[in-house]
Chains A and B, each alone.
Chain A
């Protein structure tokens, strides 16, 4: 069978686009190759590592296991779209810098996208909830510690809890009064 193509219309980082794609392409392929949005990283290509995460209609997806043709009609955001027209960083990007949440940087774009979704949800999550929401990303450099702090602080600031945000410090000895059976 000859190669099969399709025109896809979607919004990428706020801009309406149309693109002819090979129907075999993943959304990662389309974003990286056709739009040169290389913040979308390939780490496993099976939806396990989260490095390719993009936001589609308000929800984080692994773009590696998402067909490009499914982008039709969707609103897609990648890390490139978080930076303002004058190069201004969003607060979550700045928090990743300030908290030392970036080392090799390869998992960073995916992590920031999920974090962006979290901090813009308008909700206050517990520490355990935050860990769960961020658990679709693997990182081998940071032990997730500084990423956790960056997200928690930014979440609190979004909720106007600036003082609480400042209290999220770099030492964290937790006290668990009750046993926690595995349920």
Chain B
């Protein structure tokens, strides 16, 4: 199939306006007369709000109203995850949140709100209010395994020992398999840290009353889900709300949760529909939105002398923070991946998702797989070393083989993806030469190179509903607008969809106009963007709808050309008679004629829903080359390459951009990012962009993105997931490269100077004569 638009580096539709600075994000659209909401957050990590004295704060000039958790008369607990709703209660997300609570479960929980005429008045009142809260403080717990112990503080009544969920997998018999003689046992603990999304546009929303309903404009990935959840949170009919999504300054999964939209809508309603804006400051974004789960893994493998796996076990403890958000889905994804990435006949696995008194963990680019990839790929490296095998050859030998079929998801590995990606990446970075070159180094500064891979699938079938809807409306000149439930949040979904429609209708891509800003009153239903599903899922509804429209266009063409539909086609914007290739009329002439004809006038439009019942593996790898300054405990990333098989690349420049962004997030995850809490108070320590070390321009080398394009047979356009996978393999590749350089393989993230200092000291690489054996200073 030769494509005109698919696979081409089409400029994203909004690039020009963004380069001019005239794109409107949520705050840019809000009238500056809006009242300002600031949220009153708990300053205890676990407790009961006994009282809030609002009298002093109310005296601050400019304060309009103060709401507290005691103003909630009916408690409507609601779920926040951006998952499709299920009409089956057993598949619904846990409803454990209130818009304000008198039972704060983490430092930063929402216990009240100030509404004021301006931000200064709001912040003045907030500071007074913070001192006017009387708490009964309760003991708190920050660690997942600690939280599971008898006697630990209990967060939610229905979940004894704070276990939100516990699942197991068993294949074959580990007990029997390990009796095989000659096995080598490799065992490790792997610890990942909590991090935050850090989209540069903080979460923001505003609400106002109109026509007896409440309109909420919000920076979200999931407008239709937001509408449903506002209804649930306020105990009102869902149709009472209209949710509008303008351009979004990044989401990365944080905006795949319902955040403050229900509170904002509720306050507007309390004030008779006045315009209220809730703009979350960066410091609060870190602690009162969502974060990435910290997951602790324990993996054991029993290896045969030939380097194959005889048996494997895995245990994982997933720190979910104080509320369920996405619940067990994140931990389960990692557990589900374990037997697939490195198949083995005998596997035991179990995982716990555990409530703790920390900020709430939710979706974040990779959805549990950056954590799992770290554990899996550290462990794979450790296994290869134990067996004295080249780590790359070890992976080639043990990874999921071509033809692998997964019965539950019905996923199949159709191509030799792993080897193709390895070969391509190894060539770009010069892997084999560098492995040789970096052998037997001594001295303070050493280099290393290594690889890692990951497991990913594209969408959420069969775990949850997969549905996509599309509407395409043709204008008088034959150009079209289209709307989708899959949201544009910066990743380029609209442009990819426009390329598909242009391809299908055979019209120039600049005649295909995305309606980028979604509105639940207008946009066809869709659940939003997450799970790297956008391009895959929207592809089905886009193609189906474009074909419907094409059918209507050709039927209309029959009226004006007298030719039978089966002898007509759309080619390069023309109605063409296929029997001789003659161009009969342009699409513009056709559209104009059909709309204004006095004989059966019709506006040409199509709309349809496609329910997706397939999923697709999306694999790749990362090669990292580092230089380690041992005395300085610092890592310099010299070169990095990610190779992905995301099926057919719809748009190479946008696809590369996705890979770069994921790699960048992976670099920060590997080397510097970590959210911290004070063990004594449960207070967050580094919830700002100075103390939270998001990697800067100077911490990045050139980022290399490469693709292996194996057309995905289940997909409408041969595509599969790409948004999240690039973030997954980076941290373990860097860890393995540091290990290759120094011999020190570190099982904890981030690989910051703090970690490196401890590990290099333990390994004897740092041996200060002035420090005594206990590691204490000399004086």
Contacts and interface: CB of A to CB of B under 8 A. Distances in A.
A153 interface: no
B702 A38 contact: no
B249 A179 contact: no
Contacts of B282: 43-46, 48-49
Contacts of A41: 25, 200-201, 249
Given A97-B16, A174-B701, A104 B429 contact: no
A140 B250 contact: yes
Interface stretch (A4-12, A66-74, A105-113, A158-166): A105-113
**3 tightest A-B CB contacts, nearest first:** A39-B21, A104-B490, A172-B702
A37 B24 CA distance: 11
A54 to B, nearest CB: 11
Interface in A43-90: 43-46, 48-49, 51, 78-80, 83, 87, 89
Contact of B697 (A33, A48, A144): A144
A81 B429 CA distance: 42
Contacts of B7: none
B350 interface: no
Given A44-B688, A83-B20, A100-B653, A106 B201 contact: yes
A64 to B, nearest CB: 11
A144 to B, nearest CB: 5
Contact of B25 (A106, A131, A172): A106
A135 B21 CA distance: 21
Contact of B657 (A103, A112, A174): A103
20 contacts: A42-B279, A43-B202, A43-B282, A51-B200, A78-B21, A87-B20, A100-B654, A102-B15, A102-B19, A103-B490, A104-B201, A105-B247, A108-B18, A131-B697, A140-B252, A140-B661, A141-B490, A145-B700, A171-B704, A172-B703
B564 interface: no
B21 A171 contact: no
Contacts of B694: 138, 140
Nearest to B660: A143
Nearest to B702: A172
B20 A80 contact: yes
B331 to A, nearest CB: 25
Nearest to A104: B490
A45 B279 CA distance: 12
A142 interface: yes
Nearest to B248: A104
Contacts of B247: 104-105
Contacts of B634: 182
Interface in A94-152: 94, 96-98, 100, 102-109, 112, 128, 131-132, 134-135, 137-146, 148
Given A24-B120, A41-B249, A132-B698, 4 more contacts: A93-B19, A104-B247, A143-B660, A143-B700
Interface residues of B, number: 74
B653 A109 contact: no
A108 B704 contact: no
Contact of A38 (B28, B202, B641, B661): B28
A123 B15 CA distance: 28
A68 to B, nearest CB: 14
A181 B663 CA distance: 25
A89 B17 CA distance: 10
Contact of A145 (B248, B444, B654, B703): B703
Interface string B154-170: 00000000000000000
A174 B632 contact: no
B627 A180 contact: yes
Contacts of A137: 697
A79 B20 contact: yes
Contacts of B663: 143
Given A44-B282, A46-B282, A108-B18, A138 B200 contact: yes
Nearest to B32: A33
B689 A103 contact: no
Contacts of B697: 131-132, 134-135, 137, 144, 148
Contacts of B690: 46, 48
Given A100-B654, A100-B656, A140-B661, A179 B200 contact: no
Contact of A180 (B12, B636, B660): B636
A60 B729 CA distance: 36
Interface string B596-618: 00000000000000000000000
A131 B703 CA distance: 13
B696 interface: yes
A78 B279 CA distance: 23
A131 B627 contact: no
Given A46-B689, A48-B690, A106-B250, A93 B20 contact: yes
Contacts of A128: 698
Contacts of A78: 21
A171 B445 CA distance: 26
- Max chain A Cβ within 10 angstroms of own Cβ: one of B281, B492, B664, B702: B702
A181 B428 CA distance: 26
B664 A142 contact: yes
Nearest to B282: A44
A32 to B, nearest CB: 8
B197 interface: yes
A135 B697 CA distance: 5
A78 B22 CA distance: 12
A39 B702 CA distance: 28
B171 interface: no
B702 A174 contact: yes
A165 B37 CA distance: 49
B25 A148 contact: no
Given A44-B688, A104-B199, A141-B657, A97 B702 contact: no
B664 A140 contact: yes
Contacts of A134: 697
A104 B690 CA distance: 22
B551 interface: no
Contacts of A171: 428, 702, 704
B700 A106 contact: no
B21 A38 contact: yes
Contacts of B657: 100, 103, 141-142, 146
Nearest to A176: B638
A138 B654 contact: no
B365 to A, nearest CB: 10
- Max chain A Cβ within 10 angstroms of own Cβ: one of B15, B198, B200, B662: B200
B20 A103 contact: no
